[in-house]
Amino acid sequence: MLTHDTAAGWSKARRPLDPARRSEWGAVAAKEASAAGPWGRAEILDASQVGSWDAAPQIDQQQASAWSRVAGRDIGTGGRWDTVAQKDLARRLGWDRSITPQDVRLRLLYSPRPALKDTLSGQAWYRCDEFGERFDAAAERAASLYIPVAGLVEFSFSGQRYVPSTTASVFFDFHYTAQQHAIQPVDSGLSVRFTPARILEQMRTMPWGWGTPTDPKPTGIVYPDYPGPVVVIDPPQEPDILETYMIANTVTLVVLPSGTPLDATNIRANLDIDSFAWSFSAELFGRTSLNLVVPDANGPKTVELTINGWVWRFLVERYSGSGKHPSERYSISGSSRTQLLDAPYAPQRSGLNAAMVSARNIIDDQLQNTGFSASWDTVGMGPPDWTLPAGAFSYQSQTPMQIIHRLAEVAGAVVRPEMAADGFTVLPRYREATWYWGGAVPDCIIPTEIVAEWGSEWSPQPQWNFVYVSGANYGVGVQVRRAGTAGDEPAADVIDDWITTVDVARSRGICELSKGGNQAIETRRIPLFEKGGSAPGLVLPAMLTECRDDDTTWRGLCLGTEISADGVGASRVWQTLKIERHYGSGN
């Protein structure tokens, strides 16, 4: 048992500030000898009733602090209250509070259980205890009382409940916290195996394709029951309708990398939907400009053409000249940089896949170490990617671009080259089937107010509504039929070794059926507005265009575009479009 007492130390009083209001503890000045008592040695009146100052009686040694004998000084001068001798320093309590909490190095812990030795190897609390021994909660509660070994610590409560003092320096906490155990499975011996579900009636499955948009304007609604991607096509920019269009055309043709300008005229740049490179031609004045672009030992020269902010880069592959005194004129022609992936620049190769490979991986493999990159949205815009089993992908004496172009053709897609960068895009020839053009979102709008010249040529085809698409030695055979028709007008069968999945066969079938029906080839000559200016800007092949004529509005597929810049100085710039127009439902 611990007993904590509080005592005040007796010491010499400090000197007061006001002598008139204090009394000195020392010698008092005698005012009147007859009325004053001497402060010297007192007279012993009754020695039997006097208490000794040097021997305090010990009432209870177990509950009291040890009082030592006061050292005798001088009975005549009295004993000092602040000079009590310290007899037993080891067993006394510090009355001067010299021990501070910072000096405490020993702490007594009373715990009903031994301390954990290694807390880092304990069981994780966020998972169940699958393999641990079963524990009994009732037995654990019965054995929860921990009795310390005799001799370590002794307590004496005198039959009373222990209540720690509110101002004590040391007290004990007898609170017990039960050990937390991880949850244990009841029947850990039983388990359920998860295996892939069985495939039943695989031949009767219905392939799910892309839905048909019914609202030309995206609603932004998120469908909670459809986990797939939602392709949002932004509506095209509305063109500015003006009474008069004033365009200050800027045309420059320079040699790279020096940037030396060329004296050129009659510049042409064109691209059709079935080509993988832009074509270019121009006429030069004088031999000085020709010498800057003549190919040398390092190969063809590169020129950069800028028309109203639109930039192209071409390889000068051919040139010719003619002259008549006193003038001479030279012609140059070439292609965009994607021509480097085809003959005569790229080598021809042969190959056969030994393992299953996807079409996207084939394109990446063909572009390895070439510096070119391919863009192919297999999820949103299409066409879909597909896999070819081992031995199905074989080719002989093919350049990288020939392989890429054939892969795109197998899926009903085209290759659109970049204008100035080393890259291209694989995209479907018909982003929407022709019978859905009436509700599709177009890529650009061509109003009749900007059309300078137009033309039309009737080019009908049979109204096909059924086509058989199949692989040769590998793959599947798919019958693609236009929904809502009897399937009685079959198109020519499409058989290719690289058609190995249902998705690619369906994509190719939609492309073939879209080519049929009553149609016309329309031509429109419009200005080439500044890049970032008024719509429609530059119209590219495979774009779905909306033509707003005086009497009707229709939609068609851009098959080709040609940019022409005639004259010297203030050139006249036009773009001529070739558009495939279909007559029938939805257009």
DSSP 476-487: -EEEEE-TTS--
Question: For position 179, what pLDDT does the model report?
Answer: 73
Question: Which secondary-structure segment (H or E) carries 288?
Answer: helix 287-293
Q: What is the pLDDT of residues 433-460, one digit of tens each?
A: 999 998 899 999 999 999 999 999 999 9
Q: CA–CA separation, 136 vs 82, rounded Å?
A: 63
Is pLDDT at 215 greater than 50 in this prediction?
A: no
Q: Can you give the residue ranges of every domain in the chain?
A: 251-340, 430-459+518-587
Calculate helix-pair angle for 400-410, 359-366, nearest 10 degrees.
Answer: 160
Q: CA–CA separation, 525 vs 539, rounded Å?
A: 11
Phi, psi (rounded to 5 degrees) for 287: -75, -20
Could you give the C-alpha distances from 113 to 139, 145, 155, 437, in angstroms and in order? 15, 8, 18, 80
Q: What is the pLDDT of residues 534-582, one digit of tens each?
A: 889 999 999 999 999 988 999 999 999 999 998 766 689 999 999 999 9
Question: Which secondary-structure segment (H or E) carries 266?
Answer: strand 264-272
Question: For position 134, what pLDDT does the model report?
Answer: 75
* Domain 430-459+518-587: top CATH class: mainly beta
Q: Take residue 23 and report the two structure tokens written for it.
A: 């009394």
Equal CATH topology for 251-340 and 430-459+518-587 = yes
Q: What is the pLDDT of residues 389-413, one digit of tens each?
A: 999 999 999 999 999 999 999 999 9
Asked if the 251-340 domain carries CATH number 2.30.300.10, the reply is yes
Question: For position 329, what pLDDT does the model report?
Answer: 83
Instruction: Work out the mean pLDDT of the chain and round it to a whole number.
Output: 78
Q: CA–CA separation, 99 vs 39, rounded Å?
A: 40
Q: What is the pLDDT of residues 45-103, one digit of tens each?
A: 555 555 555 555 665 555 545 555 545 555 444 545 556 566 655 555 555 665 555 55
Number of H helices, E strands in the chain: 5, 23
